[in-house]
Amino acid sequence: MSGKLYLVPTPVGNLDDMTFRAVNVLKEADLILAEDTRTSGVLLKHFDIHTPMRSHHKFNEHEEAPKIAERVLGGETIALISDAGTPGISDPGFMLSRECRRIGADVECLPGATAFVPALVASGLPCDRFVFEGFLPPKKGRATRLTLLAADTRTVVIYESPKRLGRTLRQLAEYFGGDREACVCREISKLHETYHRGTLAELEKHFAVNQAKGEIVIIIGGCNCTDSTDSTDAASDE
């Protein structure tokens, strides 16, 4: 392979979800950049990958991106992986990809695992048009974002942590309406993968007494009111 940055998806749960191509790219690369080398070390050991690895995460990517991009431009093949899923999707990756493009270094993203895609498709809610929000703003701008999303006619996809799930479901029911259909998807591609479907009010009630664990994706049906704004502006940042 010539000098190139590869963004390599890794399994969000079951290690068998790793593609043959992803394994080969990681084996043939000059260097692997990992969000957490301890987590990724388990993956590399499982697939007998011995490529050198170093940390690349949100705390050092601003400083490291220009240096790594120059190495790629100079002919090195470097692979970027996150702890799980596709780099750049709620994980580090965008800054390095942008810097490589800026200086003319080659970038390629392999197709592969992303938690929200199987969650969306299996939720039973419309998946022909959707907006992926990732994690909602924790404080500043949160109310504005919820107000905008509540009027969006597309299916809404949100990532959330178990400890904040109850609060988020309460707010979703408040802004979207308790009768809005939704699905809470947990532990995608793992042993305890579960889907809880119902209205936001029903889901809020369920998780108020049932503690959720693991990675969570919330899918919310779009607004069907006649005065909704059917445009991408409904999900833009304030």
Q: Along the 238 residues of the chain, how does pLDDT read in single tens digits?
A: 569 999 999 999 999 999 999 999 999 999 999 999 999 999 999 999 999 999 999 899 999 999 999 999 999 999 999 999 999 998 999 999 999 999 999 999 999 889 999 999 999 999 999 999 999 999 999 999 999 999 999 999 999 999 999 999 999 999 999 999 999 999 999 988 999 999 999 999 999 999 888 899 999 999 987 544 444 444 434 3
Q: Indicate the helix (H) or strand (E) that contains 4.
A: strand 4-7
Q: Give the pLDDT score at 78.
A: 98
Phi, psi of 104 (to 5 degrees): 90, 15
Which residues have CB under 8 Å from 59's CB, separation 6+?
Answer: none
Q: Give the pLDDT score at 34.
A: 96
Domains and CATH numbers, the chain: 4-109 (3.40.1010.10), 116-235 (3.30.950.10)
Separation of alpha carbons 96 and 62, rounded Å: 8
Q: Give the pLDDT score at 1.
A: 53
Q: Give the pLDDT score at 230.
A: 44
Separation of alpha carbons 223 and 236, rounded Å: 16
Closest CA to 195 of 182, 205, 178: 182
Separation of alpha carbons 231 and 166, rounded Å: 29
User: Which pTM does this prediction carry?
Assistant: 0.86
Closest CA to 85 of 9, 15, 24: 9
- For residues 213-234, one letter each, b for 16 or more C-beta atoms within 10 angstroms of the residue's C-beta and e for the rest, the string is eebbbbbbbbbeeeeeeeeeeb
Q: Indicate the helix (H) or strand (E) that contains 94.
A: helix 94-103
Q: Give the pLDDT score at 238.
A: 36
